[in-house]
Chain A
Amino acid sequence: MNEPYEYMAAALYLGHPGIDAQHEILFVCYRELMHAVGGHGDGFELTDVISVIKSYVVTHFRYEEDAMQSTDYLDRDMHIAEHRRLEKGLLSLSERYENETDKNAVAIDMAGFLKEWLSHHIAVVDRLLAQHLNSLNYT
Chain B
Amino acid sequence: MECQTLISGDVATIILPKEFSFNTRNEFRLALKEKKSAYEVDFQRVEKMDSAAFGMLLLLKEGSNDKKVSVVFKNVRPEVLRMLQLIKFDQVFTIL
Binding site for B on A (CB under 8 A): 1-2, 4-5, 7, 17-18, 21-22, 24-25, 27-29, 32, 42, 44-45, 48-49, 51-52, 55-56, 59-60, 62-63, 139
Contact = CB atoms under 8 A, between A and B. Distances in A.
Given A4-B21, A7-B52, A25-B54, A51 B87 contact: no
Interface of B: 21-23, 26, 29, 32, 50-52, 54-55, 58-59, 61-63, 65, 83, 86-88, 91-92
Given A4-B50, A21-B87, A56 B26 contact: no
B87 A29 contact: no
A25 B55 contact: yes
Nearest to B19: A1
A29 B29 contact: no
A5 B88 CA distance: 22
Given A18-B87, A44-B63, A52 B51 contact: no
- Across the A-B interface, the 9 shortest Cβ-Cβ residue pairs: A28-B55, A24-B51, A51-B62, A52-B58, A48-B63, A52-B62, A48-B62, A28-B51, A21-B87
A56 B22 contact: no
Contacts of A24: 51, 54
Contacts of B52: 5, 7, 28
B20 to A, nearest CB: 13
Contacts of A51: 62, 65
